[in-house]
């Protein structure tokens, strides 16, 4: 099958080729806004495609398709819907943007420090331009990867973006395609990679245009939101290629540095080559040809390591997956929450397992899920697991107290940050946590076309011990905006300096910057007191040790028996006055004879330097 673009593509000479996958349609017509009374007919091509080339087409022309004489409808692969969800798509020439000076080639997953942001609520403007105005803030913080929640055209003007309708097009309320490119270029100038969330597992569409999408959906399988995407049934070859070309378009035309594919556990595919494996192979080929690094991240609720295992070991060759296990275990330890899924993480060993292995469940029975969860596979590089104390999904789980700082307090929020950023995994921050943002991040929408998000659709629904606000109320959206004034408060300044210090240490210390959990030992010394020792890859003895007190009371422990001999120097104490705490400073050198006393919900980081004896 010909592997080529979908939709309208303009070449360097101003000629435009239109390509539509519609194997169930006999005649495909097209109209242009510049010639509204004339219908162009697309020629049938192999495997159910229809094609047409028009020379010297007028820039920014709009077009629509007619299927077997039906009413006009937009292109499923539309690159630009400036008027939203109407009957026309606009031709967009990607060649016109000036990429001169953009020599950024991407980052490998093991170097990434990820910051997740939602364009519509990140800034007062709620636009791409508004986010771009805060890039210096991210650079100062120490972020090198910006992950954007879906920016593809979705229903309505506001939403999470998971209700994607035109997966190739930039959402018109956020800005233009060229404005997104400008954001990417400006990010690259600061050494920041840009990763984009995409929805390849569920596809929302306007009911009036149902005829265009008939091959896209399975006839035999459904999920909570409706029919699943057709990845392995009749005409699935064209559907798979539609999403692969979509991925390549974001990477090629927008210079995006990676994709996070949401809800990949809902991809039902019994093909000899799984869709994710085929996507991985195609992206690796694109990388090699363009000398770039493009990461592929997934969100898989099954704790399956197979997608991120190498292809030669039976995996799909993806780069990393989100570890909800780590969040759930940490959330329980910090808050004591046992509602819904969190009751599965109430036993002490779950936090230790999540810190040691990245997964709390590796083939054990889950009482909440009523099944075996995860599997005890070979050890993976720590960089292949992305961990977080907050993200967009998890902030809806506790009502108005969705943020850690709101639910558990300032010191607990710093403790959560330490457990995440000093872990041997790839860390992710959710927008605003770096200065102690308290605003919730509710699910919101202003379109009846939008389905509820996956976290509401699946088993975790009963983890909500509150009545979620009406997603269609204006206040639900406005209350989810970041309040940047909080950054200028005394607490906000202390929290920001705390995060900066943690990220600097992770970036610069040879042990902390290496995401290798096979050289990490975690043990619970007494209830609520957990020690993590990070071992160096070199034989220089430069260990790091972090002692976490998850208790709400102070705790003491002699550490001599648990640590290698030699001086241990205090590098950071989360309860110190420099970071907004009120505790007396700890001794600079860890005592061999005196117990270490940690304040409630705090942690201390020590570095080890071996003595040279001649």
Does residue 98 lie within any of the structural domains?
A: no
Asked whether residue 257 falls in the same domain as residue 377, the answer is yes
Q: Structure tokens of 290?
A: 């363009």
CATH of the domain at 284: 3.20.20.80
State which residues form the domain around 292: 112-508
Q: What is the mean pLDDT of the chain?
A: 90
pLDDT value of position 209:
67
Asked whether residue 427 falls in the same domain as residue 499, the answer is yes
Task: Map 250-274 to HEC letters.
Answer: HHHHCCCCEEEECCHHHCCCCCCCC
Asked whether residue 569 falls in the same domain as residue 597, the answer is yes
546-566 residue pLDDT tens = 999 999 999 999 998 999 888
114-131 residue pLDDT tens = 999 999 999 999 999 999
Asked whether residue 55 falls in the same domain as residue 201, the answer is no
Asked whether residue 64 falls in the same domain as residue 208, the answer is no
Last residue of one domain, picked from the residues 91, 121, 150: 91
CATH of the domain at 573: 2.60.40.1180
pLDDT value of position 208:
64
What would the DSSP string read from start to end of 518-584? GGEEEEEEETTEEEEEEPPSSTT---EEEEEE-SSS-EEE--GGGS-SS-EEEEEETTSGGGT--PP
Torsion of CA 448, 453, 457, 463, to 10 degrees: -130
- Residue 463 scores a pLDDT above 70: no
Asked whether residue 333 falls in the same domain as residue 313, the answer is yes
pLDDT value of position 375:
84
pLDDT value of position 460:
44
| 172: alpha, beta or left? (left if phi > 0; alpha if psi -120 to 50) | alpha
Asked whether residue 553 falls in the same domain as residue 434, the answer is no
Last residue of one domain, picked from the residues 508, 542, 577: 508
Asked whether residue 601 falls in the same domain as residue 479, the answer is no
Q: Structure tokens of 153?
A: 């055209």
Does residue 102 lie within any of the structural domains?
A: no
- Residue 299 scores a pLDDT above 70: yes
- Residue 612 scores a pLDDT above 60: no
Q: Are 134 and 141 in contact (CB under 8 A)?
A: no
163-197 residue pLDDT tens = 899 999 999 999 999 999 999 999 999 999 999 99
Instruction: Kindly give, in sequence order, each residue whose CB lies less than 8 Å from that of residue 117, ignoring residues fewer than 6 positions away.
Output: 131, 146, 147, 148, 149, 431
State the Cα–Cα distance between residues 532 and 553, nearest whole angstrom: 20
CATH of the domain at 32: 2.60.40.10
Does residue 447 lie within any of the structural domains?
A: yes
**Averaged pLDDT, 425-448:** 93
Asked whether residue 418 falls in the same domain as residue 562, the answer is no
- Residue 457 scores a pLDDT above 60: no
Coil, strand or helix: which one is 90? Answer: strand
pLDDT value of position 516:
78
What is the number of structural domains in the chain? 3
**Averaged pLDDT, 468-491:** 93
Does residue 96 lie within any of the structural domains?
A: no
192-211 residue pLDDT tens = 999 999 998 777 766 666 77
Last residue of one domain, picked from the residues 29, 62, 91: 91
Mean pLDDT lowest among 188-192, 445-449, 507-511, 587-591: 445-449
């Amino acid at each position: 099958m010909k592997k080529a673009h979908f939709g309208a593509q303009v070449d360097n000479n101003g000629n435009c080729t239109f390509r539509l996958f519609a194997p169930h349609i006999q005649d495909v017509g097209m109209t242009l806004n510049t010639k509204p009374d004339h219908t162009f007919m697309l020629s049938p091509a192999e495997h159910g495609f229809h094609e047409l080339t028009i020379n010297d087409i007028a820039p920014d022309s709009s077009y629509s398709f007619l299927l077997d004489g039906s009413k006009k409808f937009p292109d499923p692969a539309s690159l630009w819907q400036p008027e939203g969800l109407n009957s026309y798509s606009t031709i967009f020439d990607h060649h016109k943007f000036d990429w001169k000076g953009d020599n950024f080639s991407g980052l490998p997953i093991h170097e990434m420090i990820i910051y997740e942001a939602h364009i519509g609520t990140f800034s007062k403007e709620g636009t791409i331009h508004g986010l771009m105005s805060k890039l210096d803030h991210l650079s100062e913080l120490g972020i090198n990867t910006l992950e954007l929640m879906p920016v593809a055209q979705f229903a309505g003007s506001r939403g999470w973006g998971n209700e994607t309708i035109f997966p190739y097009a930039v959402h018109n309320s956020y800005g233009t395609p060229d404005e997104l490119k400008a954001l990417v270029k400006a990010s690259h100038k600061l050494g920041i990679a840009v990763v984009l969330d995409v929805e390849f597992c569920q596809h929302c569409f306007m009911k009036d245009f149902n005829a265009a999408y008939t091959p896209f959906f399975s006839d035999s399988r459904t999920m909570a939101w409706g029919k699943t995407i057709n990845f392995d049934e009749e005409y699935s070859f064209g559907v798979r290629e539609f999403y692969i070309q979509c991925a390549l378009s974001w990477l090629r035309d927008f210079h995006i540095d990676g994709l996070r594919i949401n809800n990949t556990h809902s991809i039902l595919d019994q093909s000899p080559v799984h869709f994710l494996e085929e996507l991985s192979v195609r992206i690796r080929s694109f990388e090699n040809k363009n000398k770039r690094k493009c990461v592929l991240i997934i969100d898989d609720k099954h704790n399956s390591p197979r997608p991120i295992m190498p292809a030669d070991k039976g995996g799909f060759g993806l780069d990393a997956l989100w570890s909800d296990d780590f969040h759930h275990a940490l959330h329980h330890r910090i808050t004591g929450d046992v509602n819904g899924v969190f009751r599965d993480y109430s036993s002490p060993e779950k936090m230790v397992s999540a810190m040691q292995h990245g997964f709390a469940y590796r083939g054990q029975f889950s009482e909440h899920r009523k099944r075996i969860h995860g599997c005890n596979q070979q050890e993976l590089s720590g960089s292949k697991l992305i961990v977080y104390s907050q993200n967009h999904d998890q902030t809806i789980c506790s009502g108005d107290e969705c943020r850690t700082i709101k639910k558990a307090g300032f010191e607990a929020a710093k403790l959560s940050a330490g457990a995440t950023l000093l872990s041997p995994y790839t860390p992710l921050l959710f927008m605003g946590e770096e200065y102690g943002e308290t605003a919730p991040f509710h699910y919101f929408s202003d379109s009846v076309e939008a389905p509820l998000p996956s976290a509401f659709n699946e088993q975790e629904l009963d983890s909500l011990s509150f009545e979620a606000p009406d997603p269609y109320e204006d206040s639900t959206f406005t209350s989810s905006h970041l309040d940047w004034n909080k950054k200028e408060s005394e607490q906000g300044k202390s929290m920001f300096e705390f995060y900066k210090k943690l990220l600097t240490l992770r970036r610069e210390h040879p042990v902390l910057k290496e995401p290798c959990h096979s050289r990490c030992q975690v043990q619970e010394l007494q209830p609520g007191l957990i020690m993590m020792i990070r071992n160096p890859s070199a034989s220089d003895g430069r260990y790091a040790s972090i002692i976490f007190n998850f208790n709400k009371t102070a705790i003491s422990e002699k550490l001599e028996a648990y640590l290698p001999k030699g001086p241990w120097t205090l590098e950071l104490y989360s309860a110190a006055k420099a970071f907004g705490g009120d505790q007396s400073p700890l001794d600079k050198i860890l005592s061999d004879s005196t117990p270490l006393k940690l304040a409630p919900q705090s942690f201390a980081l020590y570095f080890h330097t071996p003595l040279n004896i001649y």
